[in-house]
Amino acid sequence: MTVEKTPLEGCLLIKPQVFKDDRGSFFESYNHKLFQEKTGLNVNFIQDNQSISQRGALRGIHLQTGENAQAKLVRVVQGEVLDVAVDLRKGSSTFGKTYSIILNEENNFQLFIPKGFGHGFITLSKTAIFAYKCDNYYHKTSEAGVIYNDPMLNIDWQLPKEEFILSPKDQEHPTLEEFKS
C-alpha cells in the first residue's frame, strides 16, 4: 500500500497493492497495523457503512461536528464515483479548499478524510456500491453540511446538473460562508 498526501492538510490518498492473476484480483482493503505504519495515524474505526446509488446520485456535502466528528476511510466496491473532500476545520490553512478524485472498482483507491472535513460523492456509473469506515458513531444531532453547489467551492461534479439526484436535506445545507458563521 502506498499513501499520498493530497493538497488538503491531513487528507490522504491510499493506494492498496492489488494482486492479479487468471482468477481475478485480491487486495487487503484494510489492515490496521499497515495503515498505522504508512500514515502515522492511530485511527480506531468502529463503524462500517455502505450505500448503493444510481447514476447521478449526489450525496453530500456532509459531516458530523463536535465530539461526534468522524474521520472516514472511503472506497468504491463496485462502479465509479467522483469523491469530494472539503476542509471545514475553522482555522485550518486549507479551510474551504476541496479535493476530488475518481474512486472505482478498477483503481481500488481509498481516501482518508479527517475529522472536521465535509464529504460528498456523485455516482458516475450506472450504479455504485460505496463503503466507508468511521471512527465515531453517527449522531443525528451532530449532522452538518455545506451546499453541494456553493460557488465558493466551485466543485465540478462531472455530470450535468440535470442528472443530479439529491435528497431534500442535501438541497438545504448552508453555503460555506454561512457555515463559517
Q: Supply 174's cell numbers.
A: 448552508
- Among 62, 99, 119, 173, the active-site one is 62
148 is catalytic: no
Q: Which helix (H) or strand (E) holds 10?
A: none
Task: Mark whether 62 is an active-site residue.
Answer: yes
> CA-CA distance, 128 to 125, in Å (whole number)?
7
Catalytic residue among 99, 119, 132, 148: 132
List Cα–Cα distances, 174 to 20, 144, 145, 179, in angstroms. 45, 9, 7, 6
Indicate the helix (H) or strand (E) that contains 178.
helix 176-180
* Cell numbers describing residue 130: 460505496
Q: Which residue has the cell 468502529?
A: 46
Q: Determine whether 146 is exposed, middle or buried from the number of CB atoms within 10 Å of its CB (0-12, 13-18, 19+).
A: buried
152: left (phi over 0), alpha (psi -120 to 50) or beta: alpha
| Strands 47-54, 127-134: pairing kind | antiparallel
Q: Which residues are catalytic?
A: 62, 132
